[in-house]
Chain A
Amino acid sequence: MTAATGWSINDRRLAWALAAPTVILIILLMIVPIVVMAAYTFFTFVTAGVEEATFTLANWQEFLADSYYHGFLFKTVRVGLVTAIICALVGYFPAYYIWATDFRHKWLLLLLLIVPFWISFTIRTFSWIHILGEQGLINATLLQLGLITEPLRLLYTEAAVIMGLVHFLLPYMILNVYVSLEGIDRSLILAARSMGCTSAQAFREVTLPLSLPGLAAGLLLCFVLAAGSYVTPQLLGGPRDALFGNLIYDTIMGQLNWPLGATLSIVLFLLLGFVAVAYSRYMGLSQIMKGMGA
């Protein structure tokens, strides 16, 4: 480093100085809000919109004792898992195709993946209403073709919520798998083929195992984002299709009960944090970073 500061390139002080702006931002924008929210869980709810800074465990007791919340937590995990698995099943093959194709303009295929992000997420979600609704594209076509006599109930169902989530999350899965595939040394596949493997065997024995970290990273990302979603179930779900995020919204915005809303938020944060930590313990989070930076 410069003689003016007297710091060498390996100086810990330099590392801290470079990391300081990011660390400060993380502390201010992430750690502090979480701590404040955690503190709120011990506040006393007085009436809608009014709470006192008097210590109480009532909010945690309510969460722990009430099966209503547990039911929604399990449902959220289930919907998150189903969404992530569908994304994996549907997303692996496009990723594999993009990786394996000889198409000269591969960048164009990758660009197509991120095109949906140019449109607002809410608008993309709303578009499903015009596809799945009673007078939407699917029902109108089936009715025109005479295949049905009454419109099918496609909208405001759990299936519609999962479809909306898959639509939103699929690019994340494809990018993660693609990045993982890109890291595979192709000579390994050629070696397998030269040793007598069929294409399918080479895929099963070499490509698939080596792409698993990307698949796992995609699964984690899709699960966490699906389980934490609020807008999709709100727009595409019926009264019974709410997820835990909607419970938090209603508690804070509808009941104006911030202490209980904060408690539910911390619960969801801990659940998703636990999943991320467990993944990191076994797979490492670096794969996700690669996927997101693709």
Chain B
Amino acid sequence: MAKTITEAQKQEKIAALHEKRDALSLLLRDAKRTHERDSLIAKIETIDEKIKKVRTGEILTRQEKRNLVAYSFIAPNFIGFAIFTLGPIIFAFVLAFMRWDGNSPMKFVGLKNFIDMIGNARFHSSFVNTIVYCIATVPLTLASALGLAVVLNQKIKGRNFFRTVGFFPYVASLVAVAAVWNMLFSPQKSGPVNMILYNLGVHAKSLPKWSADPHWVMFTIVLFSVWKNMGYYMVIYLAGLQGINAELYEAAGLDGCNSWQRFRYITWPQLQPTTFFVTIILTINCFKVYDIVYMLAGGSNGIVSSQAMVLVYHIYEEAFRNWNLGYSSAVAMVLFLMVLAITLVQFRGEKKYAN
């Protein structure tokens, strides 16, 4: 890059840059809005840098050097992120309008995948099941997490121990805890839970078959999900509870409020932003449910019946069992739109609670 320029060329360049700079300064004098002024000032600064660059004959201006340093910080993560996350996301949007089995060339089919979806019974049940799962799991998890948090926010002995216990199912490996659940809720009469029910006087014939029973399988999944995840939301609620001003409770104590009244008129309204946030996160996580269903209802071959299958399972089976990659991406778009809708609600809510 030994590009030498004569002194005259240099002066000419500098003069041209100065001219530009003067024009911008004039604009700046007239500019009224702050963001307009800011962008003009930035432009002038860039020109100043360029003038300096020409004058000193350096290859890079200071700002350019700074940019490069910053990019070197970002690059390791961003390159990985762009290739393995951003790329596939864009690909997913394209794929939803294609027909592809992974080997033969892709073919554009317009909205056909979406039309196929409407007529597909397995899509119907997976969609309905996801919604049912969500409607059952969200309020139950919310209530148990809140209850647990309120109890564990009291000054009691061994509080930290109880918190750890409440949280542990959340970090425990799903495969391992699902294995225990499958044994505890074994469909046979000899299963521990069924044995307890039997001894409590439930007739042997009417004992639930849990995950082996089409009517009980969703209930079993919901129960397990609440048990496994409530600890996580409890932690969020505990943080929310610690943010409540203690003076409010003192005032309530002076007014002679009982525990219920304190919960009803102080804790609950004060926790509203937390509850909102927990509801959002919970709903999104419910939409994404897959592995719980796979473990509890998948049996030994991993095939889930139509009473328990959820959207992500439908995506999985269409893609990796039937190799309908385009169709499965169309189903993924439905999942995306559901999550997007909830995220938009979240953004609106955040604005509301920020004020």
**A is bound by B:** no
